[in-house]
Chain A
Amino acid sequence: MAGYRPSYSRVFLTFARNSLVRDMSFRTNFILQSISTVSWTIMNIGFYLIVFQYTDSIGEDTGWGRDEFFVFLATTWIINSLVQTFFMPNAQQFSELIRSGNLDFALLKPIDTQFVISFPRVDWAALSNLFMGLTLLGYSLFQLTTRETNPLILDWRAVLMYPFYIACGTVIMYSVMITLASTSVWLGRNQTLYNFWFYITNFSRYPMEIYKVGWGMALWVFFTFLIPVLLVVNIPARIMAKPLNTMETHYWQLAGYSIFATLICLTVSRRIFVRALKSYRSASS
């Protein structure tokens, strides 16, 4: 028995299964949530369709035309839905556990505490956004590859790198989120968590070129190097939406840096998490 390690993948599958059983017992809620997620994405498409009535691209000579930008948008949704399905409910739950003192139970388990905090709940309804994202991705890639002028030729390297960078982006977002949630040990508030998350990640939703004007450069530096949320969507979207052989040197550099940033984010957030646990006071009842 000594030295026994629990099987993390099997524990995760049980988490996912339990969440599904739970979601299914509130079926109406599940369906409504899926519907509203889908309508939200449709409204978003509507907004950008309107925008592209007045312009051919977002930013001058950036190459973010309508279909390229829709690849970008699809990437945003894919990463967002992964974060919302797997991490969002747990981060909110984490703040709640700290507030109520129920974090005690997580600390008692003979398994990595960050794991048992980060994964117990899976919000299956939020996965509907993933399908919307994949659909939009498929559609816009079809448009890009079949257009008459200058059709995009899918590079197999891009197809391989895309999911890899999606994963990196998701990990960066996860790190930011768990860091924010950990602060509730010290700050004690949790309702602002979602707002703060929204305000920070809001910067990641647009092509990074738009910030490279005037004082926007400061923002670009801040959200690329200090809190690297700008890399999250931009790197995979750039790799997929535009020909790889035209990718500028600094993009390649950023793509390389992105891997490094992912590791740093994960390490830093883990440190903050561990420190938060040390300061945890365990509220009574």
Chain B
Amino acid sequence: MTTAVSSSSSLSSRAKTWWTILRISLEERFVYRGDFALGTLMRFLPIITQVFLWGAIFAASGNNAIQGYTANAVVAYYMLTMISRAFSSMPGLCSGIALQVRDGEIKKYLIQPIDLLGFLLITRVAHKLCYYAIAIIPFTLVFYLCRGFFENGWPEATVLVAYGLALTMGFLLGFFIEASLGLVSFWFLEVTSLVFVYNLLNFFLSGHMFPLDLLPEWANQMVRLLPFQYLAYFPAAVFLGRIEQDELWFGLGVEACWLLAFVVLSRVMLNRGIHRYSGFGG
């Protein structure tokens, strides 16, 4: 009886803690929402050059479609990768962890009953929720103005569900990959360069720079074996209906495996890292 009571109360108090963390981060974020919305709108400016660049490429190629992409579809693709990135990019996560390790602030998590990864995930969710709450205005505006680029209109319901799943898992995958990178700082203090290399690879290999289908077959095969594609390409391709029904669920399955792998990896790294850290008596 007593144990049941104590465990339930600890659960509710824990939920309360999480809720407080979430609320404080939300409030912090909302202060600058005006700048934020305008900043987001500006982010779409490069899409304009993409429209004209691909217009010129298609005009000169003499083809209506390249690897199944029409000129409009390429632009639609770029716009969709903006959404993918809005979910999967984690600005400041890796360097934030590295900073906490260096400043010794990480000790807080050894003393207080808060799990570091859980705490970071919840603040990141808050961060993202705020971002979407504001960014939805410029995003809707731009997508409405550019609806002409989406030649096939809305995809069917099952595809939309899969798209939602792909985005959510993309968020989690992005989080756990960057968290793992940040935790490397337990062993090497200077991880900024690592982040830089990651961002560079990510930009190219995730399909943020161009649709991965345009790669030569061998390169395409190789890139598909990496987890990067789930951070930008995969959700966009799902929405555009470029992935067949059975391939769709298989792809989501593979994504889930990658996610699981990075959850386990970051968990192991955190435990080992803390062990190593307290071993030093730091």
Question: In the complex, are the beta carbons of A36 and B200 less than 8 A apart?
Answer: yes
CB distance from A208 to the nearest CB of B (A): 10
B49 contacts A203, C-beta separation under 8 Å: yes
Of A13-21, A48-56, A161-169, A275-283, the segment with at least 4 beta carbons within 8 Å of chain B is A48-56
A50, B210: Cβ atoms closer than 8 Å: yes
Chain B residues positioned under 8 Å from A253 (CB to CB): none
Number of interface residues of B (CB under 8 A): 32
- Contact A219-B48, Cβ < 8 Å, known A32-B196, A43-B204: yes
Q: How many residues of A contact B (CB 8 A)?
A: 36
Q: Which of A36, A199, A210, A211 contacts B196 (CB 8 A)?
A: A36
Whether B52 and A199, one on each chain, are in contact in the complex, defined by CB atoms closer than 8 angstroms, is: no
> A43 is contacted by which of B43, B53, B200, B214 (Cβ under 8 Å)?
B200
**Stretch of A58-66, A71-79, A84-92, A173-181 on the interface side:** A58-66
Residue-wise, chain A 12-56 has the 8 Å CB interface mask toward B (1 for contact) of: 000000000000000011001000100110010011001101111
Given known pairs A36-B200, A206-B53, the reply for A60 and B48 (CB within 8 Å) is no
| B225: Cβ under 8 A from any A Cβ | no
Interface flag for A205 (CB, 8 Å) = yes
Give A237 Cβ to nearest chain B Cβ, in Å. Answer: 15
Residues in B neighbouring A56, C-beta threshold 8 A:
60-61
Instruction: Check A151 for interface membership: any CB of B closer than 8 A.
Output: no
Determine if B146 is an interface residue (Cβ-Cβ < 8 Å): no
Inter-chain contact B209/A47, CB cutoff 8 Å: yes
B200 A62 Cβ-Cβ under 8 A: no
Binary contact readout B44-64 vs A (1 if CB under 8 angstroms, 0 otherwise)? 011011001101111111010
Query: Are A60 and B204 in contact (CB-based, < 8 A)?
Result: no
Instruction: Assess A195 versus B42: contact at CB under 8 Å? Given A36-B200, A211-B52.
Output: yes
Complex interface bits, B204-237 against A, C-beta within 8 A gives 1, otherwise 0? 1000011000111000000000000000000000
Q: Which residues in B have some Cβ–Cβ distance to A below 8 Å?
A: 35, 39, 42-43, 45-46, 48-49, 52-53, 55-61, 63, 66-67, 190, 193, 196-197, 200, 203-204, 209-210, 214-216
